[in-house]
Structure 1
Amino acid sequence: MGTVVSIELADQLPADRLTALIGDACDWLHEVDRRFTTYADDSEVMRLRRGELKADDASPDLRHVLAACADLWRDTDGWFDAYAAGPLDPSGYVKGWSIEVASARLAEAGSVNHCLNAGGDIRMRGHKADGRPWRVGVRHPWQADKLSWVLELTDGAVATSGTYERGAHVFNPRTRQAAQGLRSVTVTGADLALADAYATAALAMGEPGIGWLGKLAADGYESAAVTDDGRAFRTAGLPAVDDA
């Protein structure tokens, strides 16, 4: 996935049980990485790219991802596009989806208070060990030691897509060029897979993405964005507790 994943469990469970839960989550994420990476020739995605594997013969997880990407392509009028840079690359969906699945598995196994963070894509459930809601700082897109917003959630997801760390890695599917206009987009909501995809789609749109994001609030997905020239926008329902 090209990033570091942190897992914090705040449940009052035996230490060996907590260790096993973390191990299971890591095993799942490594499995996803092996299957979906575009940096290893033998991954399932790369075999599909080369035509060595047909979609109908792919694993259930890959078939799910392909279907979800197709749905998002329709729902975003083509702005979320797994083929935006040319060949198939579902990474814009896979990272958020894999963390969402990992969180659901942890909850089913007894961890109802946890926080998973994969390079700024974060899924939280329950509360911290001290009983307070989880807090997430959204990094300032130019000053790494400062925050643009501090968000507070119990059960929900936060996804941020931007150009300030990885450079121009999101493409405008209309022009096939690097997206321009927005420096950072953050989306909160119930499902990290969707929040991550929505943030990617809005970044691809550029400044028109701000208005598009505002419409998502009706479905429970709040957002914040910073333009390339430093203007900041946020929806009214963004769970921000402090403007940094």
Structure 2
Amino acid sequence: MNSKYKTLFALLLVISILVSGCLQPGSEENGGLQEFQQTKSIMDTTVTVAVYTSNESEASRVIDDAFDEIYRVDDLMSPSKEESQLNILNTRGEVGNADPAFIYVLDQSKYYSEKSGGDFDITIQPVLDLWRSKFLPGGPQEPPTGEELNETLKLVNYSEINTEDGNVSLKPGMKVALGGIAKGYSVDRAIESLKENGIENAFVNAGGDGRYIGQKPDGTPWMVGLQNPDRTGQYVTAVEARDTAVATSGNYERYFNESARVSHISDPRTGYPSEGIISSTVIARTAIDADAFATAVFVMGEEEGLEMIEGLEGIECLIITEDRRLVYSSGFKEYELNESEISG
């Protein structure tokens, strides 16, 4: 990258210094409002809830309520919790009297699949399992064969997710992965909880997927830094986030095996790890939209992903390609902050 990379550090709210699990009061702002924030490890990531209010006890209560929503989503949709409805579905192939929130996320996933022409498909889990098995300790440490992938791809078909009459079922052998959607949904649930509790200015950030409401008391917007995939702690740009959500999907943080350097996002058309771009960042009204469409763009690649985004109302994206080009959707730069706005 060139000089567009900016080290933003403390200027960006999303990288404020936090103490996990403790309510952290900030300095008092205009109108007697004060920033309170808390960070916890949930859903295999770091989640921060920050609010502006004048009362610490109120801040503690509303933040706890917001985290309760995230814990509830995690209890339903964690792949590692034995009693989660996601784990039950993947183990038994069906869930009776499924929680409405679980059904909602599954139904929404089919909407994103349709919008992306099938490139976003939560039934990709058998393919991810196949790749993971190849690079676990004791595995062959080499990619699956074409024959193995083709056989496994027979289990990938979002249209086979049945959510009728409050029950969920899959065809034998199918499994779903909610890593590209559940985190965004949990952020939305936390934000809705804050709004129901009368909070007007706040943000919730879950491992880089964030939703921001209102503004800071001085009238300035939240600033969100977009990570430089080549340099930890540096950012390629910053965007203004006011009543909007921002999510990034990329292959520079998670690997099945560090030496294998295999992307955690596979293409449901081929079974191979997605290639062509390093990251896709999406701005949308809700975190679930931003999360899912960021994943879809990452799978689709530069041309198809950009074409999809241009056809969606109120959604923008920034793509970083493997050759380090920045590719913007037509309206993305309306959110981008210039250097004077960042430093000012």
TM-score bracket relative to the smaller structure: over 0.9
| Residue 63 (structure 1) aligned with residue 103 (structure 2) | yes
Measured in 1, the distance between the counterparts of 2:268 and 2:276 equals: 14
Which residue of 2 is the match for residue 240 of structure 1?
336
**Aligned to 1:42, what secondary structure does the other structure show?**
coil
Return the alpha-carbon distance in structure 2 between the equivalents of residues 75 and 57 of structure 1.
28
Pairing partner for 1:121 from 198, 205, 209: 209
Which residue of structure 2 lines up, in the alignment, with residue 191 of structure 1?
286
User: SS at 1:19's partner residue?
Assistant: helix
Which of 264, 272, 278 aligns to 1:177? It is: 272
C-alpha separation in 2, matches of 1:194 and 1:128: 24
What residue number does 1:151 align with?
Answer: 239
Structure 1: gaps (5+ residues): none
Contact 1:185 1:202 in 2 (8 A): yes
Partner SS, residue 6 of structure 1: strand
C-alpha root-mean-square deviation of aligned residues, in Å?
1.7
1:43 aligned onto 2:84: yes
The whole-number CA distance in structure 1 between the counterparts of 2:338 and 2:207 is 22
Percent of residue pairs bearing the same amino acid type: 32
Is the Cα–Cα contact under 8 Å of residues 66 and 189 in structure 2 kept in the other structure? no
Q: Does 1:202 align with 2:320?
A: no
Which SS does the other structure have where 1:92 is aligned?
A: coil
SS, match of residue 152 in structure 1: strand
Q: Contact 1:114/1:127 (CA < 8 Å) preserved in 2?
A: yes
Matched, 1:76 2:116: yes
Provide the residue aligned with 2:52 in structure 1: 10
Amino acid at match of 2:98: A
Give, in whole Å, the separation in 2 of the partners of 1:118 and 1:130: 25
Aligned residue for 1:231? 325
Question: Which stretch of the first structure deviates more once superposed, 201-210 or 152-161?
Answer: 201-210
**Bigger radius of gyration among the two:** 2
SS of 1:225 mapped into structure 2? strand
Find the residue that maps to 2:177 and give its secondary structure: coil
* Cα distance, 1:45–1:129 mapped onto 2, change above 3 Å: same
Choose the corresponding residue for 2:198, options 107, 110, 116: 110
Secondary structure, counterpart of 2:81 in structure 1:
coil
- Structure 1 position 41, deviation (Å): 2.4
Answer yes or no: is the 8 Å Cα contact 1:128–1:134 preserved in 2: yes
Normalised TM-score (structure 2): 0.67
- Determine if contact 1:202/1:212 at 8 Å carries over to the other structure: no
Task: Write the distance in 2 (CA, Å) between the matches of 1:130 and 1:6.
Answer: 22
